[in-house]
């Protein structure tokens, strides 16, 4: 199963490890989507494997930075969007877990879209994305000078488009720009979402 990245996914990884330890779950192998989730899985005692060994996953669980009622999501706040999308696409069932603050009526409203970019192309890509009407910043690292570098050796742009009225078209347009490796738009991947609220947990299903 795929193991997502970010604070919410880390809670899931710890719970999964505890269920394996008590014997409630058996024969699970995890495919982490970042160094962070890999370290968390090792600490939790979850056996790890790779997507090369298991190119089809039974289940993946991940968080989201924004999610709408159609289960379309924006991800990439932690910089792991490329690996997360590879894992999402390989999963028979893809589940998002999030709290109610992440639920939005309009994707992109109040949140910038992360885009993973090949460093060699960053200036050219920056101009192209700005030409689409976005305010773009290169994500800067904390604790070091310079941009954030992903686990894949790339950089992250945060593009503020405001309300993304046609996410599918924007995804196609961005992916046609040479140097854009992946976007944080996760549009047709999630089958289920569990949304934590003050009253409990709401279950959302795609198409319902």
The residue among 160, 190, 156, 185 whose CA lies nearest residue 173 is 185
Alpha-carbon distance 143 to 98, whole Å? 28
* Alpha helices, DSSP H, located in the chain: 7-22, 35-44, 81-89, 122-131, 167-175
Structural tokens at position 205: 């299903």
Q: Reply yes or no on whether 27 is catalytic.
A: no
Q: Which of 21, 39, 43, 84 is catalytic?
A: 84
Q: Quote the radius of gyration of the chain (alpha carbons, Å).
A: 17
Cα angle 49, 52, 57; round to 5: 70
Residues annotated catalytic, as ranges: 84
């Amino acid at each position: 199963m795929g193991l997502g990245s970010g604070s919410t996914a880390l809670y899931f990884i710890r719970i999964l490890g505890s269920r394996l330890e008590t014997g409630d779950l058996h024969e699970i192998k995890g495919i982490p989507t970042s160094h962070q989730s890999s370290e968390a899985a090792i600490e939790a005692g979850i056996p790890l494997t790779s997507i090369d060994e298991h190119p089809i996953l039974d289940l993946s669980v991940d968080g989201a930075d924004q999610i709408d009622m159609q289960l379309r999501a924006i991800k990439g706040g932690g910089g792991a969007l490329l690996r997360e999308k590879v894992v999402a696409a390989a999963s028979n069932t893809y589940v998002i877990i999030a709290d109610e603050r992440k639920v939005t009526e309009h994707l992109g409203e109040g949140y910038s879209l992360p885009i993973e970019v090949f460093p060699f192309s960053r200036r050219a890509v920056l101009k192209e994305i700005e030409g689409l009407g976005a305010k773009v910043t290169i994500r800067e690292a904390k604790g070091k000078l310079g941009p954030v570098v992903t686990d894949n050796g790339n950089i992250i742009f945060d593009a503020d488009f405001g309300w993304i009225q046609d996410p599918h078209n924007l995804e196609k347009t961005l992916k046609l720009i040479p140097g854009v490796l992946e976007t944080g738009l996760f549009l047709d991947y999630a089958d289920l979402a569990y949304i934590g609220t003050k009253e409990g947990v709401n279950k959302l299903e795609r198409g319902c």
